[in-house]
Amino acid sequence: MNLMGGGDGPVGLTAAGEAFAAGILGHLPALMALGAPSVASYLRLAPSRWAGVYACWGAENREAALRMIPGPPAAAGRAANLEIKCFDLAANPYLVVAGLLAAGRAGLEARARLPPPVDVDPATLAPAERDRRGISRLPTNLADAVTAFEADDVLRAALGEELHDTVATVRRAEIDRFAGADAEAVVAATRWRY
């Protein structure tokens, strides 16, 4: 049974699907250290480029960090899924899945609810309107993502102290490696690494 569709919640979500998605949304700044794990990752995370740089969700909204895809009507919710727009292929899929499951489980345990969906590009909203809706910018660089990751107790507990600290240490080493480098140098050094 697909919990992302066929329910009576927002955009057809079941209560469990909504709670799981809300958990991910709530932990998304910290999850960025897993899903956008390189300095180069943040070069593509620009507003109005389908990169999902604002912590919000919406049905078929390519600018929302969490894009809910309800699937075709004929599938009756069986094809519904959630796309995380702000992650990239530099990510270790095992760490990403572990982080997403932990965040989703935290949402389930808290019976979390999603805020209202966003149906426009959040960058087109006035800052006061984004604030009113609770739409915040996700980390704009790896250092900010690592700071959020280090402060996230859910991810720390899920990964274990040693792995959590190792991930943060490796990310900080990359930050130090590229300190002061321009975008061209970062791209040249990492283009073929991933």
Q: Give the pLDDT confidence of 38-95 residue by residue, as tens digits.
A: 999 999 999 999 999 999 999 999 999 999 998 877 677 778 999 999 999 999 999 9
Q: Say if CB 94 and CB 101 are below 8 A apart.
A: no
Q: Give the amino acid at 152.
A: D
Mean pLDDT of 162-186: 97
Q: Say if CB 170 and CB 92 are below 8 A apart.
A: no
pLDDT score at 73: 74
Is pLDDT above 90 for 191? no
Mean pLDDT of 15-23: 97
Is pLDDT above 90 for 194? no
The length of the chain, given as a count of residues: 194
Q: Give the pair of three-digit tokens for residue 161.
A: 């102290």
pLDDT score at 37: 97
Mean pLDDT of 14-36: 98
pLDDT score at 71: 80
CA nearest neighbour of 115 among 26, 28, 32, 50: 26
Q: Strand 54-59 to strand 64-69: parallel, antiparallel, or no bridges (unpaired)? A: parallel
Is pLDDT above 80 for 188? yes
Q: Give the pair of three-digit tokens for residue 74.
A: 């004929």
pLDDT score at 192: 84
pLDDT score at 3: 87
CATH 3.30.750.24 fits 10-190, yes or no: no
pTM reported for the whole predicted model: 0.94
CA nearest neighbour of 51 among 79, 70, 32, 69: 32
Separation of alpha carbons 65 and 116, rounded Å:
14
Give the Cα-Cα-Cα angle 153, 155, 161 (nearest 5 degrees). 80
Give the model confidence (pLDDT) of 88-138 as tens digits: 999 999 999 999 999 999 999 999 999 999 999 999 999 999 999 999 999
Domain limits, the chain: 10-190
In 38-73, which positions are buried (b, 16+ CB within 10 angstroms) versus exposed (e)? Answer: bbbbbeebeeeeebbbbbbbbbebebbbbbbebbee
CA nearest neighbour of 46 among 147, 138, 176: 138
